[in-house]
Structure 1
Amino acid sequence: MSSFGDVEDGEGPETEREGLSDVDEDEGDEDLAGDEYVDGDGEGEENDEYQLEFGTGMDPLAFVEENESGVMPFQQFEKLEYEALAARKRKALAVQRAAKMKSSKAQEDVFGANIDEIWESAGFGIGRRRRRRKKKRKLGRRSRLTPEVAKMLGEANLLYAMGKFEEAVELLKECVRIAPNVPDSYHTLGLLYDAMSDRKKALNFYMIAAHLTPKDSVLWKRLASWSMEQGNIGQVIYCLTKAVKADPDDVDAKWDRASLFAEHNDYQKAAEAFEQLLLQRPSDVEVGKMVAKMHHKTGQCERAIQVLEKLVEEHPAEADLTAVNLLAELLMESGQFATAIAHIDHASTLYCPDQHLPIDLSTKAGICHAYLGNLEDAESFFEELSEERIEGFADLIMDVGDAYLALGEHKYALHYYGMLHGDKTFDNAGVCLKMAECHAALKETRAAIDLYYRVLQDLPHHIETRLTLATILDENGQFDEAISVLAPPESSESVGPPGDVEDSWWKDGEVRKKLAQLYLSHELYPQYLDTLVPAIQETLYLESQNHKVRNPKRLRKSVLLERVRWIEDRPADEVFHGFRPVLSSSNMVKAARAKKRLQQLLEDKKDRKAAALAAGQTYESEEEEDDEPIPNEVHHVKQPLPNLLKDEEHYQLILQCCRTLTSSKRYWEALEIVHHTLQAGSGLGQEKRDELRNLGARIAYQTRDANYGFDCVKYMVAQRPYSTSVWNRYYQVISRSEARVPKHNKFMLHMRSKYPDVVPTMIISGHQFSMISQQQGALREYLQAYKLQPEDPFINLCVGTAFINLSLGFRLSNRNQCVMQGFAFLYKYQRLVNFNQESNFNLARAYHHVGLVQLASTYYEKVLSTYVKDRPPVKLPHEAVEIETGIPPKKVTSDHDLGHCNLQREAAYNLHLIYKRSGSSNLARQLLKDYCSF
């Protein structure tokens, strides 16, 4: 027999102390932590179970007083328990690591082990005896109260019986200070305060007593009841959890705890709690149904089905039709209609062998047959439903109608929806809406329209009804009525208070889009734009405001001080003193900013103090205000089109609106929409952003101010600097602008330095120099382009023209050589273009410009002898905006709409000037009559 057997029978204190002589220091401290008092059953707790112990430095009475931070007493006990268990966990891990290191060391030195180590490794050593002795002692330990404490408790009870509550309270508080771990003191204090009608303090003292006697489940349940009266649900759940731990067989406590979780929408914890109860009572139908409902609430439908199937199959005697009904609902929701029919048939055989199934189960069976395609069998189950009175089964009739509607059997659905006519609960706008949907599917347009109007009388703000009704009316040729359904009422400004007007149905985004779509389909473009453009502009404005960088919240002063301590609060005798602290770069930046901010706050405080003293006022510190964060004053306004920048449909809506605005020559509004979309649409893909910029460049070409379109074309050429067509678009926008574009010159300098081999930048720069009469700069740029593309006709024309213009300058020393060089390039240009009419005109104009009128007359006559037919201007596919918008393109109706290709009129006019100056007035007059008269 073991030598520790006497300890189990309750050996005295002397023997117990002797037994502690072999226990190491840490284990002895833990063993002695609760020696003052143990609950009366004499059974200690397990090693991993927590019990409250008031040590030195802790004031038990502080748990009763009102906490300024609003922390409840049970939350303080939770924190103490968490810290104690965490400390115990850390200690256990440390012991485990030490044992592992000792074991590895013993394995490395097997041959040097002594007899004690061998016995210890085999489990027969002194450490084993210590642990066993400690466990035995814990199980049999029973401490006794000191005579002083017992006397004080007796006197307090006597005072309580005599009604001297105040004296008893003071005596018991003194008792708590002497022996803080005696639960009787707190229990009696609870009785006293309850008698004094201070239920809150009574509850707090009972809470301490319950923590000192954690096995008293009755006390925990009483505390839960009192907490429920006070409305403290968190404390109720806490007390019931403790009651369940004290008495794991207490079914009522488990049920109440799980029900509280369910009532407060914590379905996951409710499911776990009911699962524990189901393990204890597997045949309880109510528990099984609650488990299934909680799993269904958490979205675990399959788990709920498994629980009910197990209940019905393993406990058929205890199960009932309500469980089968719930199981059938879950199976139908998950689409397992055949399995649901099987369970209903089995329940019919088991519970209703000689009678019909309840009507709710038979209805569910019929719905399952309908979903499986057996409409005749389904109708046989619904016969009983048609014979019953509607008052008690209207919900079942509604379920049948909904099932047929979902299956697309609109005739059957109409039959059952019609049965609900006259029912106070279900004869409402919802049923009318479903009946209208059925009539519309059956092409019974007139009946559907009447029902939709009836729904709008009851629910005027129902958006889907208005949209559907407008579609049906438009398809039926009733366009004006469709517009009246969606257009705002004439007295919309005076309908209800301002808050109601903002939420009115005509301000809904879907209504506006549908109304605009109707206008667009009937080619009513002004009405389309007036409906859609304000909504888009307002939405983009709100989106841009939301994307602006707001001022961040001001950090509290305590946070700033804490960050400064990261780099300043280090001991002077630190081994690595003088080295950088081990911080990440981001934390170092935060600490530096915090230090700078604190210095700034200190300087501002000094300045304010000096200003206040100079004004003869009393300075009041604002440190408390500095600790408060700046409120984020952001007012969320409802957007007219909430998802404008989030999906493809709304993106196409923006493009359509911009193209229609361009076709209506409302260029500024179109450019504004493009600009704000690019600014606010950070979530748009790169492809869509490029398309918007291209659209903005095309619209900007139509305007006389390139400030809006410049950013678009600038981005385009920056992305494709070697594309000639993109540079053409860029220069089209810049050259048509009547306003000065300040960013253009700087951008061109940047592109010339970054891409020195791009010819379009050289040509554009040359044009810019020519426009400001700096011919040398223009010639320099053109010659750079000529080096790269010497056979380009346009570059040869530009170089020749630049030489001719330069030859007319006053500071040129060798004018004739410059003229000859210019004409050399012009003749090369003429050869490259095959001596066409345009080249002859350019040569004639050059000779005319330098005063060689004889040669100019020769080339003007060549132009007059050549005829070129005028043609419409050539447009690229992306320039045909009218075609993209669906607006019919303009037809060429006269010669004024044709492009000017024939240069005979210009040549005749210039030649007539030469003739007129030489004195041949009749010849000049004849030229104007032949070529320039209409």
Structure 2
Amino acid sequence: MTAPPVNVARRAVCWLAAVAVLQDVALWHKLADMSLENGFIRQAIYCYNKVLVKDKEHFEARFARARLYPLINEPWKAKQQYSYLLDRHPGHPEVVKALVTLYHDYGHSARAIEILEEQLAQHYASVDLTHINMLTDLYMAMGHYNNAIQLVNRSEVVMCRDEALPIDLKVRRGACCAHMGDTGSAQADLYELLAHPVVDEQGETYQDLYMLAVTELSRVGLHALALPFMDRLRDASGVLELPEQWSMLADCYVKAGRRRDAIAMYIARLQEMGLEDLRYMESSLALAALHVGGGDTAAAEAVMSALDAAVAAHQLSLPEGQVQQLELFLAKASLQLQLGHTHAFVDSLSPHISHLLDQMENNGAILAAATKASSSGAVPKELVKALKRRKMYARKGGRKGEGGGEVDSVFKGYISRDRRKPHIVQADTAAEQLLRRARAAGAVSGAEETEAEPDADDAAAGGADGDLPAELAALVAAASSDQEGLPNLFKNEQLYGCFVDLIHALLDLGREEEAAALLARAQALAAYNLSLKDPSWLGPSALGHPGKRRKPKGAASAGDGNLSDWGPGAGAGPAAAAERREEVRLLKEGLKLMSAEVAFRQGDVEETFKLLKTVLHRWPYSWRAWSLYCSCAGQRGGVSHWMKMVASLRSKHPDSLPLQVLAAHADNLQGEAGTAIQSYAAAIMQMPDEPLLLLCLGVAQIDLALTARHCKDRNTALLRGFAALHSYARHRGPAAEAEAAYNLGRAAHEVGLLHVAVAHYERVLQLEQEAAADAPAEQLERLSLQQQKQQQLVDVSQQDMHVDGEEQQQQQQRRQQHQGVAQDLHHPSQRQPRQQQTAEQQRLQHLGRGLVREVAHNLCMIYRGSGADDLARQIMRKYLTL
């Protein structure tokens, strides 16, 4: 046998294979080890098979072969081999560990727990701490924290008599105690980990235990206990290198009330990396988001400005993946919207959304043309099926057994025999040639050089590009289209959220026509996706026998020509198909609700009602949908035309709180105050702190006392009404004191308690005078804040984003002095943007000033009715004179 011209290791494998024909078990073992060193997994399995032919009970060979089966995607064979070994060697510790790991990796945690529990019960002598560790992890993953604590405690008594319990088991027991509410025991166990560094001098790392402690403590809300572990992880060098880890740590810091530490961590990370680092943009966006969440909009603006400058100068390195780039782009756009840059948000996101909709529409047109072509009969049926199979193989990573051989190995090992019939093989070959020619044509059209021209078989399969019939060209285009790589507006949660924000931003800017056009295109795509019906296939479990796939009765055949044969959802299971259809329906109705909002903004009340009719039947618990419905009903006027729909839906959904409140409103408007009071009281039981419900309840009680003919105790009704109104005033707070005082005065005026009404009316006028006196000071302060912010942005733009620690602290102190921040820096999550608070206060003050004329008019009526004409003239001259 001549040695091939390869490296020394592979040459040794070949010579040893020539000698191994002597049926020497040791040589087959040696050949298997050398095959694994060269990456020949199937050849190693073949060698172990030869060993087992000579010695069926050879433990090492069978165990090694079982561990190789999952590497070639045949886990059911590994399960069979492990089960065989356990039958021959009951309770073998290594076999149990391997079998438990196999079950856990393929999502069968419950079966893994059963195996370990059986090992503990029947073969306790062979149990070691690794089994305990694995079972504890499984208990924690399943939420059985009490079982995990009992297991660790029993193991500490029985297996650790002369030595301390290992630190990993202590940490897991402490995490379980935290979940069970035993904070003292959790702290005692977890804090023993602090005696070990994250990475010790010998290179042993405890990073996984530190991360476990932080994650579990944060999950149960014990953020203060997690702070020491977070500080250790943050200060350890070379430990946390991934942005996902930084994000998790920053989120824990924010929840613990230490946003400042999270910001400092990101600034330190940015100083260590350069603009060419792929993590730079993601870290900068996370830092800006932390500033926005803490109310420091000036710092967030500085970070975004520096990032925009780096992008404009092409100094920033971006990830190669399209999905990663899209996520960064959407995160940046969301930050622009949070900072109030609505125009920039719309200008940056609107072209991308339009381009994405164009791609989805083109893809839909390709699939529709393929469906029409497959049902026309112009293309042979076997070729149509073959093209669909190639599309399915491309989505699943290839046909089973195709490409599974090892080219350079001596023994090829077991490869599934090709059981396809000759005409199917011929059709698959023709389909592959057509797809290869389509890919080559696409590469040429994209100005990319191909390595070789199409061969004779390709030419015979399809001829020239222009010679393909239209039907066959449509089928080839559908089979070669890359649907999986295209971002899906309805499957990407972040993308869909930005789309919803874009629609609302367009409405805020008064660009209703653009919003309506985008929604119309999105609704058409959603309707198309809803028409895709996934055929149901009953597939085997990953750990079960591969078997033969059987199609249930009533499922569509492969040659029906429906869109699902070409779409991305082809071949999904029945449960997944039903879930996907439900998600698409919900998305479609959400788009319809946004279309109703756009129609209402355009003044088309009838179209709004038409769109809301189906949405409300689907979402009877949505406050947003019913609020829009009430706005339309208010413009229409009347009660009877919308009361019928409310009554009909309430009979079907009696526990819907919006319907309950609307029914109470309708009863109160129709004079049924008693029925309205019952509905309001039931709604307040669910929302006891809602001021609007308390106001409506007070008004209904007073109406009952004044207008009802059969009211048994009017005085009690009045007392209840005023009690509800005072509770409403208390929940509204001091910011809306003028509004609450007016409502209380109006109620007292209606009842006839004029002295009480006068006191509340005068309180409204007093608040208006105080607001008028404070207006110049507020205007001067607001102007000063704007000037300081502009100067601050100028100072920041003149400096580099990466400053050292001392300069950063000085800038932080200067920002705090300029903005007048009075909140504690250890609780930045409680700080709110000052601009938002000022806008809310201005709205409430404007509302109070609008009530002044109403109050003045009512006071004049009271004064004139009591004979105080001079007081009435003074009020009219001061407040009612133009």
Question: What is the TM-score of this pair, normalised by structure 1?
Answer: 0.41
Larger RCO (alpha carbons 8 Å, 6+ apart) = 2
**Who wins on radius of gyration, i.e. which is larger?**
1
